[in-house]
Amino acid sequence: MCESFRAARSACWEQGAAAAAGGGGGRSREEPGAAAETLGNSIRSASQASLHHPPAQPRARRAPGGFCLEFSHFTAAQVSCARSGQQKAYRMWCQRLAWLLRGSSGRRWPRSVAALARGHHTAPRSLRCAWQLHGDHLELTYGNTLMRLDFVWLRDHCRSASCYNAKTNQRSLDTASVDLAIRPQAVRVDESTLFLTWPDGHVTRYGLEWLVKNSYEGQKKQVMHPRILWNAEIYRQAQVPSVDCRSFLETDEGLKEFLQNFLLYGIAFVENVAPTKEDTEILAERISIIRETIYGRMWYFTSDFSRGDTAYTKLALDRHTDTTYFQEPCGIQVFHCLKHEGTGGRTLLVDGFHAAEQVLRRAPEHFELLSRVPLKHEYVENVGGCHNHMIGVGPVLNVYPWNNELYLIRYNNYDRAVINTVPHDVVRRWYHAHRALTTELRRPENELWVKLKPGKALFVDNWRVLHGREAFTGYRQLCGCYLTRDDVLNTARLLGLQA
């Protein structure tokens, strides 16, 4: 594009932006008309030189609602005519464009030129960006993302030194002090930054990339927790390695490899662990604070029925998640088999998110119902000196509402309480939805069976992966604990992982 044309375009943008910033909703025709006339004159004076030096491929992009400045088409027509030698057609085109831009009184403004007076803008030299002011929000397009940013939100999230403490990463601005009818007095966008001037003169700056990442529209496109959904065959083919205990405890590389496996698959193994409760505790504390529950801090697990739970027997256990009767189920569970003198006792693992994904694909109405209907889960214990009555409430499937991403499955047929939170016209549909999920969870191809042995510790994401057990004979002793999910994810983020 020739320099004079670029200058004319910039002049048009600057005058249009000044009109939008200074006059609110009512602007005279003379303001955009002057810019249009300047542009038309510059186009005519540059036409012959431009024919001999055709500009690059046009880069202007159409703004929301079909808005696009007319001169963004100029370069394409110019290149086409220059290449074909049809200078007459090109001059006629220029005359038509000049007429469109003249802005004489009594003529109706073309939609794209009048848009300047109504608050439509594209950012100079940032052809991926366009914006428009509305009554209570700014509509901003950057790249492939159309964002609608509320004015109060834009003021509240200001990252200036007076509004945000960069050392503590905490907000300093009192949100309650922001006028709920606030509106910027001026808006400007360059190729990487949005600038807003507020009625009190305060200036807020936002990086466009930051806005894409943190806007609602940007978050809808993002996955909070990247995962690999699996059945038994997928997991075996992935050949996910176990991490050596020494590497896990002594190096960040070993810890990071372990956490990456855990975040992606919901299970991870550590090998060569000394088969004691004390060494298992050291292992667990490497990634998290141990969560003390009604079962204690570290627990031994045998078939002596010392607790009022089916797990403390030799019976088979169907697939389930633990502590569904907590208001917030425990995030991670650690298992370490210390001794087994007998047969059976293999551990069953099922990716609950993979099963839920199959339900969503085959019967989305079932998935929606399981994510909407709250249920009670209950644990009542009166054995020896243990007396507990725990109740947790929540749907079977828990999703983030903005992107429908599944983050927790609460599935335990042993501990599900009386269904009294569902009206009669929903109960039968819920049972159909529950049956569909159970069918997926019980498909043999979804069952991963592993034999736990002394020295091999298993970490399970209790919000995602269901576990069970086949019946066994002889003496079998496990130890383990629950970990706080927040601390595990915190450790992962500090190592640079998305969690």
CATH number of the structural domain spanning residue 248: 3.60.130.10
Q: Are residues 145 and 257 in the same domain?
A: no
Position 314 confidence tier, pLDDT thresholds 50, 70, 90: confident
- Whether the CB-CB separation of 216 and 149 falls below 8 Å is answered with no
The one-letter amino acid at 272: N
Alpha-carbon Rg for the chain, nearest whole angstrom, is 32
The overall average pLDDT reported for the chain is 81
What is the CATH classification number for the domain harbouring 177? 3.30.2020.30
Residue 71 has pLDDT above 50, yes or no: no
Q: Which residues contact 105 (CB under 8 A, 6 or more apart)?
A: 29
Give the model's pLDDT for residue 228: 98
38 domain residue, yes or no: no
Q: Are residues 319 and 182 in the same domain?
A: no
Residue 7 has pLDDT above 50, yes or no: no
Residue 75 has pLDDT above 90, yes or no: no
Q: How far apart are CA 249 and CA 272, in angstroms?
A: 12
Give the model's pLDDT for residue 69: 28
- State which of 220, 247, 271 marks the end of a domain: 220
- pLDDT tens for 347-383 read 999 999 999 999 999 999 999 999 999 999 999 998 8
- DSSP state string for 133-155: E-SSEEEEEETTEEEEEEHHHHH
- State which of 220, 251, 268 marks the end of a domain: 220
Mean pLDDT computed over 13-24: 41
Mean pLDDT computed over 27-46: 37
- pLDDT tens for 84-124 read 444 444 455 445 444 444 443 333 333 333 333 345 565 54
Q: What is the pTM (predicted TM-score) of this model?
A: 0.73
Token reading at 439: 């069918």
Q: Are residues 191 and 305 in the same domain?
A: no
- pLDDT tens for 471-486 read 988 988 999 999 999 9
Percent of the chain with pLDDT over 90: 67
425 domain residue, yes or no: yes
Q: Are residues 470 and 379 in the same domain?
A: yes
Give the model's pLDDT for residue 246: 97
Give the model's pLDDT for residue 306: 57
Q: How many domains does the chain have?
A: 2
How far is the CA of 495 from the CAs of 86, 254, 255, 287, 492, in angstroms? 62, 11, 9, 11, 5
- State which of 163, 185, 220 marks the end of a domain: 220
- pLDDT tens for 208-257 read 999 999 999 999 999 999 999 999 999 999 999 999 999 999 999 999 99
Listed residue (99, 197, 474) closest to 314, CA to CA = 474
249 domain residue, yes or no: yes
Token reading at 322: 């633990």
Q: Are residues 279 and 418 in the same domain?
A: yes
Give the model's pLDDT for residue 303: 60
Domain with 208, as residue range(s), is 129-220
- pLDDT tens for 416-463 read 999 999 999 999 999 999 999 999 999 999 999 999 999 999 999 999
Give the model's pLDDT for residue 310: 64
- Whether the CB-CB separation of 440 and 358 falls below 8 Å is answered with yes
- Whether the CB-CB separation of 411 and 321 falls below 8 Å is answered with yes
Mean pLDDT computed over 273-298: 95
Position 385 confidence tier, pLDDT thresholds 50, 70, 90: confident
Position 335 confidence tier, pLDDT thresholds 50, 70, 90: very high
Q: Are residues 138 and 272 in the same domain?
A: no
Residue 337 has pLDDT above 60, yes or no: yes
390 domain residue, yes or no: yes
317 domain residue, yes or no: yes
Listed residue (74, 68, 185) closest to 115, CA to CA = 68
Give the model's pLDDT for residue 122: 56
Q: Are residues 242 and 391 in the same domain?
A: yes
Mean pLDDT computed over 301-315: 65
Q: Are residues 312 and 171 in the same domain?
A: no
Centroid of chain to Cα 419: 33
107 domain residue, yes or no: no
Token reading at 10: 């910039």
Mean pLDDT computed over 168-172: 97
Listed residue (61, 9, 17) closest to 187, CA to CA = 17
Q: Are residues 277 and 169 in the same domain?
A: no
397 domain residue, yes or no: yes
| Buried residues in 58-80 as b, exposed as e (16+ CB within 10 A) | bebeebeeebbbbbbebbebbbe
Position 415 confidence tier, pLDDT thresholds 50, 70, 90: very high
395 domain residue, yes or no: yes
Q: How far apart are CA 71 and CA 11, in angstroms?
A: 13
Q: Are residues 465 and 391 in the same domain?
A: yes
Q: Are residues 267 and 184 in the same domain?
A: no
- Whether the CB-CB separation of 323 and 291 falls below 8 Å is answered with no
Higher local confidence (pLDDT), 299 or 354: 354
Q: Are residues 202 and 247 in the same domain?
A: no
